[in-house]
Structure 1
Amino acid sequence: MTFKKTLLAASLSTLAITGLAQAKGISDNEIRIGYIADMSGTYSPLAGPNGLIAAEMAIADFGGKVKGKNITIVAADDQNKPDIGANKVREWIDTNNIDLVAGMVSSAVTIAVNKVVEAKDKLSIVSGSASSSITNQYCTANSVHYVYDTYALAHGTGEAVVKEGGDTWFFLTADYAFGHAMEGDVTAVVNQSGGKIVGGVRHPLATSDFSSFILQAQASGAKIVGLANAGADTINALKTAKEFGVVASGQKIAGLLVFLHDVKSLGLETTQGLQLTTGFYWDRTPETRAWSKQFYAKTGSMPTMVHAGIYSSTMHYLKAVEATGTDDAKTVLAQMKKTPINDFFATNGSIRDDGRMIHDMYLAEVKKPSESKGEWDLFKILRTIPADKAFRPLSESQCKLVAAK
């Protein structure tokens, strides 16, 4: 093929793609977002009602319209149950023509919802779920995993703890997809670093009594008790560990998914010195402080990394819709993937072929009471984990989208 013919073919292809996007336009003359998360249970502080407010802030800051078309949002409580989440999203798409599904915390719910979204050729942006399997063996061509995952948490916190001498581990693991993925990712890190897993126990979601689990952890003799759980489960486990004198007796606790609100709830006296990995901290830069103060004014609370990620991802989505002039899922996602993300939330952000949004992560440590200068002055950032080091490399991916390349 001659150069002119090649150039002509490329131009026609570009025109065809552009024309397709323009032809599809904004369906129903409205951008519709469905926000689904645990709104009242174990994980509600992580995203919950305040995550909905974060999404509404993004919509308002964008101007409430795209290309003159209104942006609307509806919300539902998935109760951490995959069937409820999947059925609600199917109903939204079938009856309301929802364009984007946002939020999502329980990994089991997310995996179920993403199957519906893929089958209906819509788009989902996952901000609250942790399981790295979402963009690995369960990846889809219609979803983005935005804020963090178990691989990043394991390689941030796990590596740091082992390097400091914590080379024998006992796990307290939430018995569902997230907990299993977290335990698996941390186990790989510990083994690679020369450590050893000496035991573990799995507990049901929303466990109130951790006494027997903590006793097993103490009896194991492990230097580190790894908490592969989140939300109220992490809080209850840490409270029980304090009551049983786990740290006082010489063991250390690794909170593998610890949020700002967990530390606030437990207090610095209980959590001081705890290391954790996070994708966002409200007091890290002037930009994070400015946005977080706006969020606080609306909620009375400083944001978790999930709240910040929901705002950022919603804004990134709306910019892609504006740039393409359509709400067609594949067209919008292609635009999102080719557009770098650098805002108050993400540094060096980009969306890969597997749907994983990679960005810098941070190893943090909970301050001592004497170091804190205010109610929400809880973390100090120890180091930055670069985007290309924080998340699972594509060379290790099991995602069908990567293998097809």
Structure 2
Amino acid sequence: MNLLRRQLLGTVGATTVLPLAGARAQFGSTPPLRIGVLRDQSGPYSGGTGATSIACVRQAIEEFGATSRGVAVEVNSSAATADLTGRVCSPNGIHWTYDTWMLANCTGNAVVRTGGDSWFFIVANFAFGHALERDTANAVRKAGGRVLSRAAHPAPGTTDYSSYLLQAQASRAKVIGLAHAGEDAVNTIKQAAEFDIVRSGQRLAALLLYINDVHAIGLPTARGLMLTESFYWDLNERTRSFTQRVLPKTGGQRPNMSQAGCYSVTLHYLKAAADMGVAEAKRNGAATVARMQAMPTDDDVFGPLRIRQDGRKLHPVYLFRVKTPEASRGPWDYYELMATTGTEEAFRPLAEGGCHLIAGRSRSGNEAIGWALPTREAGSAKHVVS
């Protein structure tokens, strides 16, 4: 298994949209654009990805006006490691919504600044969990905090977190960092409430948790939890407008940052394909990615922003605290904004990622192996858009 495949399998919870390389037209003179949405539809991460991601992609296609433009688009039903814009960066990929460095930086730094200067990590024992722990530990230390210890659990599928929570309690760390996601995070938070961990004075910092997870946990249990997202449905007028438009397709579920990111990246990809011509976009994926990077981005999810040279999409990131039941004004009114990290500060500095696309850098042999995936024709690309 090569490096890229390990990264993708290890980080299935993020926003990933793949315009499929080498696909052939089945109807009409212009080949259809086929968009593959790699999401967990029924497993432990489906609550934060799943059907709402597909709904957001379809919303973008509808608003783009594909039918009126004569563009055929098919949707065929993700990766979060920061290495995708670092040592295994590629001219064929754009990383869109979040990565482990962003989650770690925007959570770790902010929590340390508010007094949470000693940490214990509960870690999912696979690539994503380790990357999230590593990046958060670095952010905590850089901010002047300490990492006291850690406990790793099999993932996904662990159901009893009592031994890990007892270790965290015994460490007397001020903050318990949860370096996992999906059902693992939900179950840990529920069991932490049974141990009265938060009421006893320790904080829980969820390093990847979505509003859908908070909805499943409930405010009485999730109250006070700190988490980071780059999108919140009630953040401003544009996010509220997008949410109202997509709600009929989601059954009333508010989209999280990963799901809303599917809308954002799909819309930008379609704009780029239309700008350069659908046939050319189908023929040359690398050129399509280059066009996406050259064009400024603007949508109701993230606003007007840009894509960096290493393929990193930039936008502000927000630290939220989950409201108490008394403070909530109604369903899905769950977040209190605590801090905003600006566009340039939220993501890893360009010079620190080790991306060979940056001027003056060369790619090592191991990095080349990481992206050695076969394509069906010269010039086609696998667009990894997370």
Pairwise TM-score range, normalised by the shorter structure? 0.7 to 0.9
Cα deviation for residue 273 of structure 1 reads: 1.9
What SS does the corresponding residue of 1:202 show, helix, strand or coil?
A: strand
Cα deviation for residue 27 of structure 1 reads: 9.0
The corresponding residue for 1:190 is: 140
Show structure 2 runs of 5+ residues with no match. Answer: 1-24, 362-386
Conserved in 2, the CA contact under 8 Å of 1:324 and 1:331? no
Map 1:305-384; keep pairs closer than 5 Å: 305-325=257-277, 326-327=280-281, 328-384=284-340
Higher-Rg member (1/2): 1
Conserved in 2, the CA contact under 8 Å of 1:362 and 1:382? yes
What SS does the corresponding residue of 1:45 show, helix, strand or coil?
A: helix
Cα deviation for residue 36 of structure 1 reads: 1.6
C-alpha distance in structure 2 between counterparts of 1:191 and 1:286, whole Å: 37
Choose which of 349, 356, 378 in structure 2 pairs with 1:400.
Answer: 356
Q: Aligned pair in 2 of structure 1 residues 289, 131: CA closer, same or farther (>3 Å)?
A: same
Superimposed CA distance per residue, residues 97-155 of structure 1 (whole angstroms, 9 cap, x where no aligned partner): xxxxxxx2xxxxxxxxxxxxxxxxxxxxxxxx332122112222211110011211112
Conserved in 1, the CA contact under 8 Å of 2:165 and 2:192? yes
Choose which of 241, 248, 258 in structure 1 pairs with 2:199.
Answer: 248
Conserved in 2, the CA contact under 8 Å of 1:156 and 1:276? no
C-alpha distance in structure 2 between counterparts of 1:180 and 1:372, whole Å: 34
Taking structure 1 as the reference length, what is the TM-score of the superposition? 0.78
1:286 aligns with 2:237: yes
Cα deviation for residue 345 of structure 1 reads: 1.2
Map 1:1-400; keep pairs closer than 5 Å: 29-65=31-67, 68-75=70-77, 104=78, 129-206=79-156, 207-300=158-251, 301-325=253-277, 326-327=280-281, 328-400=284-356
Cα deviation for residue 204 of structure 1 reads: 1.5
Which segment is superposed worse, 387-396 or 210-219?
210-219
Taking structure 2 as the reference length, what is the TM-score of the superposition? 0.81
Letter matched to residue 249 of structure 1: S
Conserved in 2, the CA contact under 8 Å of 1:241 and 1:247? yes
Superimposed CA distance per residue, residues 22-64 of structure 1 (whole angstroms, 9 cap, x where no aligned partner): xxx9996211111222111111122212111211111122223
Conserved in 1, the CA contact under 8 Å of 2:96 and 2:312? yes
C-alpha distance in structure 1 between counterparts of 2:354 and 2:143, whole Å: 23
Cα deviation for residue 235 of structure 1 reads: 0.3
Letter matched to residue 161 of structure 2: F
C-alpha distance in structure 2 between counterparts of 1:385 and 1:27, whole Å: 47
C-alpha distance in structure 1 between counterparts of 2:67 and 2:34, whole Å: 11
What SS does the corresponding residue of 1:277 show, helix, strand or coil?
A: strand
C-alpha distance in structure 2 between counterparts of 1:331 and 1:67, whole Å: 21
Cα deviation for residue 379 of structure 1 reads: 0.6
C-alpha distance in structure 2 between counterparts of 1:230 and 1:402, whole Å: 32
C-alpha distance in structure 2 between counterparts of 1:356 and 1:348, whole Å: 15
Conserved in 2, the CA contact under 8 Å of 1:347 and 1:360? no
C-alpha distance in structure 1 between counterparts of 2:316 and 2:143, whole Å: 22
Show structure 1 runs of 5+ residues with no match. Answer: 1-24, 76-103, 105-128
Aligned residue pairs total: 330
What SS does the corresponding residue of 1:166 show, helix, strand or coil?
A: coil
What SS does the corresponding residue of 2:137 show, helix, strand or coil?
A: helix
Conserved in 2, the CA contact under 8 Å of 1:367 and 1:379? yes
C-alpha distance in structure 2 between counterparts of 1:343 and 1:60, whole Å: 14
Cα deviation for residue 70 of structure 1 reads: 0.9
Letter matched to residue 268 of structure 1: L
Letter matched to residue 187 of structure 2: N
Superimposed CA distance per residue, residues 307-327 of structure 1 (whole angstroms, 9 cap, x where no aligned partner): 111001000000000001121
Q: Aligned pair in 2 of structure 1 residues 169, 50: CA closer, same or farther (>3 Å)?
A: same
C-alpha distance in structure 1 between counterparts of 2:323 and 2:196, whole Å: 20
Cα deviation for residue 387 of structure 1 reads: 0.7
Cα deviation for residue 170 of structure 1 reads: 0.6
Conserved in 1, the CA contact under 8 Å of 2:92 and 2:285? yes
**Higher helix share goes to which structure?**
1
Cα deviation for residue 382 of structure 1 reads: 2.5
Cα deviation for residue 248 of structure 1 reads: 2.3
C-alpha distance in structure 1 between counterparts of 2:260 and 2:333, whole Å: 17
Conserved in 2, the CA contact under 8 Å of 1:349 and 1:360? no
Q: Pick 1 or 2: higher relative contact order, CA cutoff 8 A, min separation 6.
A: 2
